[in-house]
Structure 1
Amino acid sequence: MNKQVIEYAGVPVGIAIPEEGAVRFVAVKFHVFDLDQRRFSTLGQLQGAVHSHMSSTERLAA
């Protein structure tokens, strides 16, 4: 896996970086900074965490 842009509602919110069999999230939007630098086992888990986090907070402004 290469680095991959992570989007929420069509807006880039961070980057997934492969790291030792997992993926590390680097946030690029303030709305997801609580997830910054966290490691996830899979890309799907990362995307789920972003979706869950954004669903429980304010809506994202472009």
Structure 2
Amino acid sequence: MQRQVIEFGGLPVGIAVPDQGELRFIAVKFHVIDLDDQRFPSIGELKLAIRDHLRSGQAIAA
């Protein structure tokens, strides 16, 4: 596993870094900051979490 830029809606929103067999998300955009430092088993699960977070209306507008 390598570091990977995570895009959502065509824009980079963070990076995924391998950590203890999972992927740790490092947010670089305010609207996904609540997911910062969380771990996910796969890129797919991370992107689903981003989508769900943004749909929930909890995202910070920036």
Q: Which TM-score bucket, shorter chain as reference?
A: 0.7 to 0.9
TM-score, with normalisation over the residues of structure 2? 0.85
Count of aligned pairs between the two proteins: 60
TM-score, with normalisation over the residues of structure 1? 0.85
Aligned to 1:5: 5
- For residues 13 and 54 of structure 2, the distance between their equivalents in structure 1, rounded to whole angstroms, comes to 10
**Runs of 4+ in structure 1 displaced over 6 angstroms?**
none
Contiguous gaps of at least 5 residues in structure 1: none
Contiguous gaps of at least 5 residues in structure 2: none
Where do 1:11-26 residues align within 5 Å?
A: 11-26=11-26
Q: Does 1:54 align with 2:54?
A: yes
For the aligned residues, what is the CA RMSD?
1.6
